[in-house]
Amino acid sequence: MARKPRVLTVDESRCLACQQCMTECALAHSDAANLVEAMRSGQAQPRLHVEAVGHFGMPIQCRHCEDAPCAAVCPTEAIYRPAPHSPVLLDADRCIGCRSCMYACPFGVIDMAREGKAVVKCDLCIRRTAQGEEPACVAGCPTKAIQFRELDDWLAQRRHEAAKLVAAGNETPNPSEKG
């Protein structure tokens, strides 16, 4: 049976901009046993960012584009998708730090690693999800603003919300308005 695509979704009205998702991400991608150890070792580098947007905070991370521009421009094929519906991954050993992917990313979410040789990017916590766990940003979000969902389920929910708005006389659903 084909694996259904899963995506990270964000309900910006629930985000407190507390940056706990960034902390959990940094810890999950370090070899440290705890956050203090990760900070002392310099390994704590998140793969997502919380940006202020009006009165809201908005976690921004790799969208794992179907036709990923970062992978298309990578001269060493360090950025790749191993299988359909899998996350866009990075092989740091193959990365030469040319930054082409950073320039190509439409979301600006690829960063240089602190040690400077390679880039870092969200991998949807592939080690965690392979074990049936949620990505660290999802598991650590205190308000559940970030969710890891099957794309089909999320789209069905969006259609249902739009249909309710249209039926109530609001002909153009606005995704930033929650009702």
Instruction: Give the model confidence (pLDDT) of 97-148 as tens digits.
Output: 999 999 999 999 999 998 888 999 999 999 999 999 999 999 999 999 999 9
pLDDT(172) > 80: no
Q: Note whether 89 and 82 are within 8 A (CB).
A: yes
| Neighbouring residues of 107: CB distance < 8 A, sequence distance ≥ 6 | 60, 62, 63
Higher pLDDT, 71 or 158: 71
- Spelled out in words, what is the top-level CATH class assigned to the domain 64-121? alpha beta
| Spatial separation of the C-alpha atoms in residues 174 and 177, rounded to whole Å | 6
pLDDT for residue 41 is more than 70: yes
Q: What is the dihedral of CA 70, 22, 134, 16, to 10 degrees?
A: -120
Amino acid at 45: Q
Q: Which part of the chain is CATH 3.30.70.20?
A: 1-62+123-172, 64-121
CA distance 159 to 156: 5
**Mean pLDDT, range 33-60, rounded to an integer:** 86
pLDDT value for 161? 86
Please give the pLDDT value at position 179: 43
Give yes or no for residue 3 having a pLDDT over 70.
no
* Radius of gyration from C-alpha coordinates of the chain: 18
In this prediction, residue 176 carries a pLDDT of: 54
Domain 1-62+123-172 has CATH 3.30.70.20: yes
- What would the two tokens of residue 125 be? 């916590």
- Concatenating the DSSP letter of every residue in 28-93 gives HTSS-SSHHHHHHHT----SEEEEEETTEEEEEE----TT-HHHHH-TT--EE-SSTTSPPEE-TT
What is the average pLDDT score of the chain? Answer: 89
pTM listed for this prediction: 0.83
Torsional class of 68: left (φ above 0), alpha (ψ -120 to 50), beta (otherwise): beta
What proportion of the chain, given as a percentage, has pLDDT over 70?
Answer: 93
